[in-house]
A and B are shown apart, each in its own frame.
Chain A
Amino acid sequence: METVITVRELKKTFKPKSRKGVEVKALDGISFEVPRGEFFGLLGPNGAGKTTTIGILTTRVLPTGGVAQIEGIDVAHDPVSVKRRIGVVPQVNNLDRSLTAREILLFHAAYFGVPKQEREQRAEQLLARFELTERADEKVNGFSGGMAQRLKIGRALMHDPAILFLDEPTTGLDPQSRRAMWELLTELNQKGLTILLTTHYMEEADQLCSRTAIVDHGRVLALDSPAQLKRSVPGGYLVELQVRNSGADGVFTDALRSLPGVVEIKAENDRVRVYADRVEGLLASAMRLAGEQHVTVTDAHVSEPSLENLFLHLTGRSLRP
């Protein structure tokens, strides 16, 4: 399969904006490749470097080091050729508030030299597909979050790009709009469009992406299909215990490790995470052990294999803010 996005050892350090500011290392050698037609996800918490990665790939941010290529063209050296090939749906609402929805689409296509008749036809189609026809000749100030989001996607598609970049497209949308957005994106991908999307929602990456890179602190921690990634969590199941008086000697965690099915134990302050390949009876056994060791369990939680667990396993932190 032809590679359309190449990111190799990409680095970005933001210089401080004021004299008192500090340097921010947003990307610390991120690498991945996306073949044509793939639905690729960058999953990570806020500040992981997702937006910076998209910023570099879409010519808006200059890399400090490494390589970023779109269809073999270096983004930093020939931004204009790259811009012709990509459609970008940014995180913030940057719709042109001086124009109506239809004008936004038409002018965008005009910037890309799409002939008049063709752009009018395409705008009409996209407005209809995105259920915006009724409000097409209104300015966008009064548009709901979902409508603005759909219009941003419509705008990005007006010049028929080969690759679509979306930065957290469903953040701030209600569940119904999010579902609709997922359907729309799946449909676009099925028609052959390569999509790179960032998200901090596990279920979004799980639902949409054929492959997902888990990023944190500007590095790729894991990269595979969501199913494979979930399988890579040791044991798959996770029992999380909130404990008190567990002592520093590790007797309690050692005892947990000897339970049947337990693959790995991670203890941190008053939190113990037990990864296991089966879960039947595990919680009860853990509670019994706690009782024997005079450890108080204040909270317990059992979860199925998920990307959330994988992230927790890789970083020791939860994805959710």
Chain B
Amino acid sequence: MTTFIALLHRDLRVVRRELPSFLLRVVLNPLLFTFIFGFVMPRMGIIKQGYTDMLLPGILGLSMTLSSMQAVSLPLVIDFGWSKEIEDRLLAPISIAGVGLGKIIVGVIQAIIAGLVVLPLAWLLMRVQLNLTTTDVIHFVLVALLSSWLFAAFGMVIGTIVPPQQISLIFTALLSPMIFFGCAYYPWATLYVIPWFKYAVLVNPLVYANEGFRMALTPHMPHMPMVLVYGALIGFSLFFTWIGLRKFEARALD
């Protein structure tokens, strides 16, 4: 346990040191998006006022999931690809899976930092009415933790199977469809207008994160049933954690 905490401590020291660039990476994009779609366009009348209610949970979901995924995958690609810096930690007296779990937890922590910065800023810009009950807050915390964990584990899968030369390609080829088909900018329930699309997007784990935030933050808006949200978030988390740790061990040992 001492070893595990020391490993987390090391990663958090590095996060703290790189906080300005981390925040820029995590916060800039969602804030610009919020500004145009949640502030400028509603005032022009191009977008209906109520749209911001749909947008807020999606923006938050995107920021948190993408930051935890990047926080885990990018360092791993670099470490295993050429710098080999992680070797020092692999020689720490802890199992390889323990080192991997530490990476996932640090990803979750970074996602929480991102969420804590983006949520108030986006809320201020869009002035969404949030009347949260205690149950909503519990849902919010659970969804936030589960989504961050899911995407940190997903980041570990990406970081351990993608060779460094292809990482930018994978990010473009994988992330763009995930984001656009991820129900961030529209609620899943409204997709009944295109039934095949409504069911096709269910393979995308981002859908459940965004719908989960919708369920917690704007429960009066249409959202996915709770059972489906939690079932998928937990199922995907377990699946990616299992695959990610196995691949991590395979990469760490020759």
| A99 adjacent to chain B (CB < 8 Å) | yes
B88 partner residues in chain A, CB cutoff 8 A? 94-96, 104, 108, 155
Q: Name the CB-closest residue of A to B254.
A: A61
| B9 adjacent to chain A (CB < 8 Å) | yes
| A201 adjacent to chain B (CB < 8 Å) | no
A contact residues, total (Cβ < 8 Å): 31
B contact residues, total (Cβ < 8 Å): 26
Q: Name the CB-closest residue of A to B6.
A: A110
A155 partner residues in chain B, CB cutoff 8 A? 88
B83 partner residues in chain A, CB cutoff 8 A? 94, 97
B1-52 contacts to A (CB < 8 Å): 2-3, 6-7, 9-10, 13-14, 17-18
Q: Is the CB of A55 within 8 A of B254?
A: yes
- Within the assembled complex, what's the spacing in Å between the Cα atoms of A97 and B252? 19
| B84 adjacent to chain A (CB < 8 Å) | yes
Q: Is the CB of B85 within 8 A of A58?
A: no
Q: Is the CB of B10 within 8 A of A99?
A: yes
B93 partner residues in chain A, CB cutoff 8 A? 80-81, 83-84, 111-113
Q: Is the CB of B253 within 8 A of A107?
A: no
Query: Among B7, B87, B94, B95, which residue has its beta carbon within 8 angstroms of that of A90?
Result: B87
Main secondary structure of the interface of B (DSSP, over half): helix
B3 partner residues in chain A, CB cutoff 8 A? 111-113
| A59 adjacent to chain B (CB < 8 Å) | yes
- Within the assembled complex, what's the spacing in Å between the Cα atoms of A86 and B91? 9
Question: Hey, what's the 0/1 contact readout for A89-108 against B, CB within 8 Å counting as 1?
Answer: 01010111111000110011
Q: Is the CB of B14 within 8 A of A99?
A: yes
Contact status of A112 and B92, CB under 8 A, knowing A61-B253, A107-B6, A107-B10: yes
Q: Is the CB of A60 within 8 A of B7?
A: no
Contact status of A113 and B2, CB under 8 A, knowing A95-B85, A97-B85, A99-B13: yes
B90-105 contacts to A (CB < 8 Å): 90-95
| B89 adjacent to chain A (CB < 8 Å) | yes
A61 partner residues in chain B, CB cutoff 8 A? 253-254
B84 partner residues in chain A, CB cutoff 8 A? 90, 92, 94
Q: Is the CB of A83 within 8 A of B91?
A: yes
| A182 adjacent to chain B (CB < 8 Å) | no
Question: Hey, what's the 0/1 contact readout for B105-142 against A, CB within 8 Å counting as 1?
Answer: 00000000000000000000000000000000000000
- Within the assembled complex, what's the spacing in Å between the Cα atoms of A97 and B13? 13
Interface centre among B87, B89, B95 (most CB of A within 10 A): B87
Question: Hey, what's the 0/1 contact readout for A50-63 against B, CB within 8 Å counting as 1?
Answer: 00000100111110
| A130 adjacent to chain B (CB < 8 Å) | no
A81 partner residues in chain B, CB cutoff 8 A? 93
A111 partner residues in chain B, CB cutoff 8 A? 3, 6-7, 10, 89, 92-94
B91 partner residues in chain A, CB cutoff 8 A? 58-60, 83, 86, 88
- Within the assembled complex, what's the spacing in Å between the Cα atoms of A111 and B2? 7
In whole Å, how far is A318's beta carbon from the nearest beta carbon of chain B? 29
Q: Name the CB-closest residue of B to A56.
A: B254
A79 partner residues in chain B, CB cutoff 8 A? 95
A262-293 contacts to B (CB < 8 Å): none
B132-189 contacts to A (CB < 8 Å): none
Q: Is the CB of B7 within 8 A of A62?
A: no
Contact status of A80 and B254, CB under 8 A, knowing A107-B6, A110-B9: no
In whole Å, how far is A100's beta carbon from the nearest beta carbon of chain B? 10
Q: Name the CB-closest residue of A to B98.
A: A80
- Within the assembled complex, what's the spacing in Å between the Cα atoms of A99 and B254? 27
Query: Among A62, A84, A103, A108, which residue has its beta carbon within 8 angstroms of that of B254?
Result: A62
A252 partner residues in chain B, CB cutoff 8 A? none
In whole Å, how far is B25's beta carbon from the nearest beta carbon of chain A? 16
In whole Å, how far is B84's beta carbon from the nearest beta carbon of chain A? 4
- Within the assembled complex, what's the spacing in Å between the Cα atoms of A113 and B7? 11
Q: Is the CB of A94 within 8 A of B87?
A: yes
- Within the assembled complex, what's the spacing in Å between the Cα atoms of A104 and B14? 12
- Within the assembled complex, what's the spacing in Å between the Cα atoms of A60 and B88? 11
- Within the assembled complex, what's the spacing in Å between the Cα atoms of A58 and B2? 21
Contact status of A60 and B254, CB under 8 A, knowing A97-B85, A99-B14: yes
Q: Name the CB-closest residue of A to B79.
A: A94
A84 partner residues in chain B, CB cutoff 8 A? 93
| 27 A-B pairs with C-beta separation under 8 A | A58-B91, A61-B253, A61-B254, A62-B253, A80-B94, A83-B91, A88-B91, A90-B84, A94-B83, A94-B85, A94-B87, A97-B83, A97-B85, A98-B18, A99-B14, A108-B88, A108-B92, A110-B2, A110-B9, A111-B7, A111-B10, A111-B92, A111-B94, A112-B92, A112-B93, A113-B3, A113-B93
Beyond A83-B91, A83-B92, A112-B93, 15 additional contacts (C-beta under 8 Å) are A58-B91, A60-B87, A60-B90, A60-B91, A60-B252, A81-B93, A83-B93, A84-B93, A88-B91, A94-B83, A99-B10, A107-B6, A107-B10, A108-B92, A110-B10
